[in-house]
């Protein structure tokens, strides 16, 4: 009998394959969050600082968790960056549970955005 985790893993591999076909290299979770951040902000710059990369990943995490009601978008600042309000606390999880939680939301994000 297949577990929910097996389905998630299969769907994750499928997403990785699609992104690999599009970008030419296999992305990890961090790279995918970075891409979502770029997608959500429209931020394009040749050189991206470590701080900007962290900001983009923060935008990605807030964006993917909006579907589960953890965040809402409050508006955008003068540079067009979205600002979020946290509506409820995230569940307490160990690192493996956090990764599964984020992967599940990334998959939902890509489903909702017809990727």
Give tens-digit pLDDT for 5-53. Answer: 789 999 999 999 999 999 999 999 999 999 999 999 998 888 999 999 9
Residue where the block lists tokens 């309000």: 85
Taking only the tens place, the pLDDT of each residue in 65-92 is 999 999 999 999 988 899 999 999 999 9
* The model's pTM: 0.89
114 token code pair:
């017809």
Burial 93-115 (b: 16+ CB within 10 A, else e): eeeeeeebbbbbbbbebbeeeee
Output the CA angle 31-34-35, nearest 5 degrees. Answer: 90
Q: Running DSSP on this structure, what letter comes out for residue 48? A: -
Q: Where are the domains of the chain?
A: 4-112
Nearby residues of 10 by Cβ (< 8 Å), 6 or more positions away: none
């Amino acid at each position: 009998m297949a577990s929910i985790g097996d389905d998630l893993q299969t769907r994750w591999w499928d997403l990785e394959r699609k992104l690999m076909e599009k970008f030419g290299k296999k992305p990890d979770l961090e790279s995918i969050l970075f891409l979502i951040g770029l997608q959500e902000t429209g931020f394009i710059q040749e050189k991206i600082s470590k701080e900007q990369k962290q900001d983009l990943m923060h935008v990605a995490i807030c964006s993917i968790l909006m579907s589960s009601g953890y965040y809402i978008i409050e508006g955008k600042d003068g540079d067009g960056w979205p600002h979020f309000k946290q509506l409820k606390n995230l569940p307490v999880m160990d690192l493996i549970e956090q990764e599964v939680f984020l992967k599940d939301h990334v998959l939902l994000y890509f489903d909702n955005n017809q990727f």
